[in-house]
Structure 1
């Protein structure tokens, strides 16, 4: 029997047989026990091959999608990862994995808060709903994680004739996104009662969270090990170079991955924003990408750019920031970057800017003994078309204390910083 169990074809046929038992309605617990008894551990690559074979043999994609969660739970802990490749720090898969840790952490917090519904006092209920909405807004950030898989990783798998699993996984992405959107819409419902929320927990809220957690398992046990085997270093380098177009999910990578000796059509990281001869040409002059980055990061203010589609696209990285920023906000809807209680103000500013009713919204606050001015500016082209919004924040504490004059001729030895 041992020589049969070690045979790949035997294992795949047995796994296919067990999945089809799920299709025929057999208990997931019974199938899991049969799996443990007959196969124990299955190489991750064979799970992918079986899923693809089932679709090629006529099992509809929709049916595989319906079975996905069930056979995923059956396989949990029974997939053999001993042959998986090591993932370098900063590699796209390493980033995905760190994002998964963050996703699971937020999912745990969200589930715990939902379970505490019965303990929430009446006078705390509104704040409770705002806290839940904030957590689900964070979970909705998984959209960027999924889009990087769909538009960057899946095409390379399909080039290698691995088409079934990406289709199934994309279907699960869409399902999870719709569930999360529905959760947020319910939480934004005016006068949402405790009973109405409670009635939705098992129907929508818990399944949405479980879907996120299950997807993490599918990625960690099957997708990522398989993709590491199939994709080349240059494939991953091209994926890495395009990642910022989509943004990160709840995580700001701390390490840049640069495979040594790789000649890529995309060039090195430091040159990705440089055009033609190395200069960015504007009507009033030119500079290199490094020069403009230094200029923007030296200006004594925090600047954040939100494009015309309300996505955060850029922020300065000066030495002393007023408000903390992480690259995980890149490509995120600006509304989700503010506390739920102030979202309506953000929406009004954007609406006023887009409509042309306003182009400037100034505010100032006292914060930790400092006087902070925060200004929003509408950005428009030469034809007046709205391009986006610039958030500009300054610490004006020292400026407000200035008196008299200090002319340029009085310049002396710079103060030590």
Structure 2
């Protein structure tokens, strides 16, 4: 592996074997003896490189989580020496930190509630208060979606050692799952306290450690690597911009596009794709996203930062191997379509991947289409009459 300028070769050669050895601490004594003297001087940039190297070496994500948790524990004194040790004033990062403060405050308020839960056998009112706190935390996990769709693509573009974003995304999903499980557990009066305590413990650890990982490792490590003008233009609005304005399409006023069966303008094509009752994402032959539509109620969020990004990095780590398998089969020509049906919140969603080929049979890319089919499940018979209500 090429050693980044973010770390010294001496540190890297000594610390990486120690970090990898954390998979089995009992047999890691020799590495610990060699590395211990460096713990107090490890920098966020070095930590980022080490995490990247661990992820290149270790395939199992659960084992990666364990190793990284242990290595961060080893480096805590150095990494926590200064609170938020990086240049301030970038609006998007300031918003993320503001959300972190709110997350921390809610977790602090939940802790005594968990203590009371154990001493009072979880009366209904207490559980109701706890669910309310979980709901507020769920709202703040929009923070994670912003990172995944706005910050992570920028990190992938400017920071070579960027595999940490896959780990963060996996932990984001862990938090989402734990919040869901906790709501269900609190709704069931028969849920054992041991189960609730385990779930709350996991939630506290994952959310608090994520704050630490962002503010004490990720932000200080990436800021020197990303151009200031890029950091200053990052905005929550990029995620909430909604439908693309057709008038913004270049050449839409007079330029027409030959589609063989017609010559619509770019503006008309934007109208067309945004009016379809589906999410569309087009991926080229190199697995890069080249286009996505913006229907009014998109199921899966997308931002313009996704264009040019590998499609594997646009999916949660737990599903990347499936995406990769599909793309490889499409490229080889052994399969031409894949279908999934999943539940997303209250919506029942059908997802299809369709292989695209040039006239000579060579692979041209993949079309991903997602559709909310919740209302289709109860349909019967025919509908032939127009049932608009008079206004």
Judge same fold: TM > 0.5, yes or no: yes
Question: How far does residue 26 in structure 1 lie from its aligned partner after superposition?
Answer: 3.3
Q: Distance in 1 between matches of 2:59 and 2:30?
A: 24
Question: How far does residue 28 in structure 1 lie from its aligned partner after superposition?
Answer: 10
Query: Could you tell me which residue of structure 1 aligns to residue 359 of structure 2?
Result: none
Tell me whether 1:180 sits opposite 2:175 in the alignment.
no
TM-score by length of 1: 0.52
Query: Could you tell me which residue of structure 2 aligns to residue 232 of structure 1?
Result: 227
Q: Describe the shift of the 1:39–1:119 C-alpha distance in structure 2 as closer, same or farther (beyond 3 A).
A: closer
Between Structure 1 and Structure 2, whose CA radius of gyration is higher? 1
Q: Distance in 2 between matches of 1:53 and 1:104?
A: 30
Deviations 1:327-378 (A, max 9, x none): xxxxxx99xxxxxxxxxxxxxxxx9xxx9xxxxxxxxxxxxxxxxxxxxxxx
TM-score by length of 2: 0.55
Question: How far does residue 82 in structure 1 lie from its aligned partner after superposition?
Answer: 9.5
Q: Distance in 2 between matches of 1:92 and 1:135?
A: 25
Partner residue of 1:157 out of 136, 155, 158 = 155
Q: How many residues align?
A: 254
> Is the contact made by 1:176 and 1:208 (CA closer than 8 Å) also made in structure 2?
yes
Q: Distance in 2 between matches of 1:34 and 1:384?
A: 77
Structure 1: gaps (5+ residues): 1-5, 248-271, 277-306, 311-332, 335-350, 356-381, 386-417
What aligned pairs does 1:209-248 form with structure 2 within 5 A after superposition? 209-240=204-235, 242-243=237-238, 245=240
> Is the contact made by 1:31 and 1:74 (CA closer than 8 Å) also made in structure 2?
no
Deviations 1:176-230 (A, max 9, x none): 21111111111123xx14xx34121342221111110011111111111123222
Q: Distance in 2 between matches of 1:130 and 1:70?
A: 35
Question: How far does residue 175 in structure 1 lie from its aligned partner after superposition?
Answer: 1.3
Question: How far does residue 45 in structure 1 lie from its aligned partner after superposition?
Answer: 0.6
Q: Describe the shift of the 1:121–1:10 C-alpha distance in structure 2 as closer, same or farther (beyond 3 A).
A: closer
What aligned pairs does 1:118-267 form with structure 2 within 5 A after superposition? 118-120=118-120, 125-160=123-158, 161-189=160-188, 192-193=189-190, 196-240=191-235, 242-243=237-238, 245=240
Q: Distance in 1 between matches of 2:217 and 2:31?
A: 19
> Is the contact made by 1:147 and 1:246 (CA closer than 8 Å) also made in structure 2?
no
Deviations 1:130-159 (A, max 9, x none): 001111111122321111111111111111
> Is the contact made by 1:146 and 1:173 (CA closer than 8 Å) also made in structure 2?
yes
Query: Could you tell me which residue of structure 2 aligns to residue 259 of structure 1?
Result: none
Q: CA RMSD in A?
A: 4.1
Q: Distance in 2 between matches of 1:27 and 1:118?
A: 38
Query: Could you tell me which residue of structure 1 aligns to residue 88 of structure 2?
Result: 87
Q: Describe the shift of the 1:245–1:114 C-alpha distance in structure 2 as closer, same or farther (beyond 3 A).
A: same
Query: Could you tell me which residue of structure 2 aligns to residue 301 of structure 1?
Result: none
> Is the contact made by 2:44 and 2:220 (CA closer than 8 Å) also made in structure 1?
yes
SS in 2 for 1:136: helix
What aligned pairs does 1:348-367 form with structure 2 within 5 A after superposition? none
Q: Describe the shift of the 1:309–1:96 C-alpha distance in structure 2 as closer, same or farther (beyond 3 A).
A: same
Q: Describe the shift of the 1:175–1:118 C-alpha distance in structure 2 as closer, same or farther (beyond 3 A).
A: closer
SS in 2 for 1:40: helix
> Is the contact made by 2:150 and 2:234 (CA closer than 8 Å) also made in structure 1?
yes
SS in 1 for 2:45: helix
Q: Describe the shift of the 1:59–1:77 C-alpha distance in structure 2 as closer, same or farther (beyond 3 A).
A: same
Q: Describe the shift of the 1:71–1:7 C-alpha distance in structure 2 as closer, same or farther (beyond 3 A).
A: closer
